[in-house]
Amino acid sequence: MSDTAKTLPRLDESLLSHVPPFSKLEKRQIREILDMASVRRLGEGVAVFEEGAPAERFYMLLDGYIRVMRITATGEQVIALHIPSGQLFGIAKAIGRDTYPATSVTASEAIILSWPMRVWDDFVARYDGFATETYKTLGQRLGEMNNRIVEMATQQVEQRVANALLRLINQTGRKVEGGIEIDFPITRQDLSEMTATTLHTVSRLLSAWEKQGLVSSRRKRITVTDPHRLVLMCRGGVPT
């Protein structure tokens, strides 16, 4: 599905009432926030904003998943993290920037709210919980990225790929027959970019793990069929 620019039906306050940055607010305050927002429905693979572009808006993912990517000095693309629904993103103002530090692309069909960045300070001042929850989210993302830096410095490639799969099913997994499926399209190339390894190595590992009954995969879909053994592999306990 392509980017839908037309106005979607008026959103109900209940959509934000349980989302942490807005969960402490009264219904009338949530109505104010929704009335200031723009709403877009985007298809998979659409760039919401590009790294280095002026940070003119900030965003809330109502439904779907966002893939955050960086470009290295040598032009290689690296997937930094995935953002699930119910979270703010593009919050450059919170880290003192006036440009976006990374590129955000939809990893699935998505519905996204956005506001002009000029209202950020007003949100922080007027809406209880907005600032504290925003900085809590930032802390969690920084912690995840720091963990990945440690993994890349200390772990073998098999452990890095296993950790990436476990992280994805913990964040986005849904139970299906036979295991836990990552709930958005993901390719072997995506996994290679997440783990700083080659496509050939990821393909070899997934093929071996399928034969061992740890995972199953089909086009752009990966299911972890034996999470416990993947956990052991992350600890170096299961040979491949």
| Tokens standing for residue 73 | 């000095």
Q: What residue ranges do the domains of the chain occupy?
A: 14-144, 155-234
| Tokens standing for residue 77 | 């693309």
For 140-147, the CB contacts below 8 A with 24+ separation are 141/81, 144/81, 145/80, 145/81
Alpha helices of the chain — where are they, by DSSP H? 14-17, 27-36, 120-126, 130-154, 157-172, 188-195, 199-212, 227-234
Question: According to the model, what pLDDT value does residue 72 have?
Answer: 80
Which of the given ranges, 1-10, 44-53, 153-162, has the highest pLDDT on average?
44-53
Distance of CA 159 to the CA centre of its chain: 21
Average pLDDT rounded to a whole number, residues 134-152: 88
N-term to C-term CA, the chain:
39
Reported as a pLDDT band with limits 50, 70 and 90, residue 6 is very low
Non-local (6+) Cβ contacts of 112 within 8 A are 39, 40, 41, 42, 48, 59, 60, 61, 62, 64
pTM over 0.95: no
* pLDDT tens readout for residues 102-127: 999 999 999 999 999 999 999 999 99
- Same fold for the domain at 14-144 and the one at 155-234? no
* pLDDT tens readout for residues 184-207: 999 999 999 999 899 999 999 999
Helical axes 188-195 vs 157-172, angle rounded to 10°: 110
Rounded Cα–Cα distance for residues 194 and 201 (Å):
13
Rounded Cα–Cα distance for residues 214 and 192 (Å):
18
The topology under which CATH files domain 155-234 is Arc Repressor Mutant, subunit A (1.10.10)
SS3 (DSSP) at 196: coil
Give 14-144's CATH code, choosing from 1.20.1630.10, 2.60.120.10, 3.90.76.10, 1.10.10.10: 2.60.120.10
